Amino acid sequence: MNGQLNTARPIAMVAMFVLCLTLAFFWYVFPGQVGFRKKWRRGMQLSGIISMLTGMFIFTDLHDSIINIAGAFALVAVIGTFIGVYMLKWRKLFTMGIFNVILIALNNILYYGDDLKMYLPTVQKITFLSFLLWIGLITVGLYRSKKYPVTRF
């Protein structure tokens, strides 16, 4: 934003790569653990993996396009995650997911608007942490559940 080089860029790129691989793995495993039918499971897996593979290129000059493409594919995976959490009757995690959607909407408002763009980096970090916490809590819930045992590798 201020034109200066970010000295943490290499670390951020590695972290983004690890994050995308982790989320791709989550969306590969989650639909099977919840018990989605094959067609929906495959669609969710494919969309989540494509979204995260695309997201690995967020640091390029095509940042805005990458965000839009990855976001479109992620939409299917996130909707599937909501459905899965609802099927498991995890109301608190469902509510937390709604909170994350509101944060994502706020990110878009700040990004595409001009007046409040200075708050975007802070809101992005809060959204990132909240979303990761949500995915982490879902994973822990599946791990602890005897009804939906997580596949061990």
Give pTM, 2 decimals. Answer: 0.85
pLDDT of residue 116: 87
SS3 of 149, please? Answer: coil
Q: From the centroid of its chain, how far is CA 132? A: 7
Compute CA distances 93 → 14, 79, 96, whole Å: 29, 13, 5
Boundaries of every domain in the chain: 9-144
Q: What pLDDT digit, counting tens, does each position of 49-96 carry?
A: 999 999 999 888 898 899 999 999 999 999 999 999 999 999 999 999
